[in-house]
Amino acid sequence: MLTIRNLTASINGTPVLKGIDLEIKAGEIHAIMGPNGSGKSTLGKVLVGHPAYEVTGGEVLYEGKNLFELEPDARARAGIFMGFQHPIEVPGVSNASFLRLAYNKKAEAEGRDELDPLEFDDFIHEKIKLVAMKEEFLDRSLNEGFSGGEKKRNEILQMAVLEPKLAILDELDSGLDIDALRVLGDAVNRLQRADRALLIITHFPRILETIQPQFVHVLSGGRILKSAGKGLAIELEERGYDWVLQEAAGSAR
């Protein structure tokens, strides 16, 4: 589904990604872990087309096509979703109308029927159950005055509405208490299918107890230092990141 080859990227001329290789197949769950400032969030932002980052080398193929030829909104309609670490607040735009517009843009791109407000109302009431969101949040302005946890809940609701093929979840666990994390983790699991893939970006291994990855990658200094199975997350939980960094430094020497 997604092939990343020797990807390099910079922000304001400073290199942040220094050669990333990664292959994600349908049905897989990958976790990108690493210390703060390692470049793991950058990888997600580059994939969705954040304009502040410049791709300086390498290539990314999404379903066999050059991802960078697509505008950010076209990438989204092609099935790439990002759950943001810090979702923005938009006063005056109701959450429901935003969700409906996003849904209809994707439906239109896929040649499906768009939903009118009444149809969408039925549709969205099913979806909010999945993330245990209160109805009132639909009528409120998009993310305005939402707590950190409510914003994350809203991100996963959007994921449920758009049913992406590839979902990138950036620090989903930040701002969430344990119960909310379990609810959202379960929701993400329920959305995962054989023809979909997940890329979980996280600093803490805790979330990986609910959303269990088959592959764990440690990213630091703009490079993937180590890739292994789910066991790596447990090891990181117990030992932290330093040993991976030292091991990588040792092998480089």
Partner 1 sequence: MSTTLNVVTSQEYKYGFVTDIEADSVAPGLSEDVIRFISAKKGEPDWLLEFRLKAYRHWLTMTEPDWAKVYYPKPDFQKIVFYSAPKAKTPKYASMDEVDPELLRTFEKLGVPINEQATLAGVAVDVVFDSVSVTTTYKEKLATVGVIFCSFSEAVKEHPELIKKYLGSVVPSADNFYAALNSAVFTDGSFVFIPKGVACPMDLSTYFRINNKESGQFERTLIVAEEGASVSYLEGCTAPQFDTNQLHAAVVELVALDHASIKYSTVQNWYAGDKNGVGGIFNFVTKRGLCKGKGSHISWTQVETGSAITWKYPSCILLGDDSIGEFYSVALTNHKQQADTGTKMIHIGRNTKSTIVSKGISAGESSNSYRGLVKVQPKAEGARNFSQCDSMLIGQASSAATFPYIEVQNRSAKVEHEATTSKIGEEQLLYFQQRGIPAEEAISMIINGFCKDVFRELPMEFAVEATKLLSLKLEGSVG
Q: What are the backbone angles phi and psi of residue 37, rounded to the nearest 5°?
A: 75, 15
What's the burial of 65, exposed, middle or buried (CB within 10 Å: 0-12/13-18/19+)? exposed
DSSP tag of 88: P
By beta-carbon proximity to partner 1, the closer residue of 39 and 49 is 49
By beta-carbon proximity to partner 1, the closer residue of 191 and 245 is 191
CB-CB neighbours of 199 under 10 Å = 25
Question: Which two structure tokens, joined as six digits, stand for 246?
Answer: 């030292």
> Per CB under 8 A, which region of 87-95, 145-153, 171-179, 245-253 contacts partner 1?
87-95
48 makes contact with partner 1 (CB under 8 A): yes
Rounded to 10°, the helix 95-109/148-162 angle is 30
98 makes contact with partner 1 (CB under 8 A): yes
Among 90, 178, 228, 249, binds partner 1 (CB under 8 A): 90
By beta-carbon proximity to partner 1, the closer residue of 106 and 153 is 106
Cα 26 off chain centre by: 15
By beta-carbon proximity to partner 1, the closer residue of 90 and 228 is 90
> Per CB under 8 A, which region of 55-63, 98-106, 116-124, 238-246 contacts partner 1?
98-106
Among 38, 42, 158, 220, binds partner 1 (CB under 8 A): 158
101 makes contact with partner 1 (CB under 8 A): yes
**Pair type for strands 53-62 and 223-228:** unpaired
CB-CB neighbours of 179 under 10 Å = 10
Q: Which residues would be at the binding site for partner 1 (CB under 8 A)?
A: 48-52, 71-73, 75-77, 81-82, 84, 87-88, 90-93, 98, 101-102, 105-106, 109, 141-142, 158, 162
